[in-house]
Amino acid sequence: SQKIEQNSEALNIQEGKTATLTCNYTNYSPAYLQWYRQDPGRGPVFLLLIRENEKEKRKERLKVTFDTTLKQSLFHITASQPADSATYLCALLSYSGNTPLVFGKGTRLSVIA
């Protein structure tokens, strides 16, 4: 069966360091991989999308890599700040029409000042 694993349920990191979150998947061939941020009591907020034929995407302090051979995506936040503390969700989407996003369980990131 399809499976998405975000390896760490929780990650603590010191302010200013780079946070690296991992998303691995099995039995799935995604066309797109998306990362979202979710704060408590709020809906997910879209951060970045990367296509299967792309290796890396950047947006300000965020960087996403996508390795379809390893079936893995890494999500980096450089120069992390306490305001980056949230749950980060990895989500996969196939090509097929209206198929829904499939989400990982998320990693709760805490950036400590």
Q: Does 33 bind another protein (CB under 8 A)?
A: no
How large is the C-alpha radius of gyration of the chain? 14
94: nearest Cα among 3, 31, 6: 31
Interface segment toward another protein; rule CB under 8 A; list 21-29, 33-41, 66-74, 77-85: 33-41
Q: Does 44 bind another protein (CB under 8 A)?
A: yes
Residue with smaller CB distance to another protein, 9 or 15: 9
Residue with smaller CB distance to another protein, 27 or 100: 100
Residue with smaller CB distance to another protein, 44 or 109: 44
Residue with smaller CB distance to another protein, 10 or 15: 10
Which three-class secondary structure state does DSSP give residue 17? coil
Residue 60 one-letter amino acid = E
Q: Does 30 bind another protein (CB under 8 A)?
A: no
Residues near another protein (CB under 8 A): 31-32, 34, 36, 41-46, 49, 89, 91, 93, 98, 100-101, 103-106
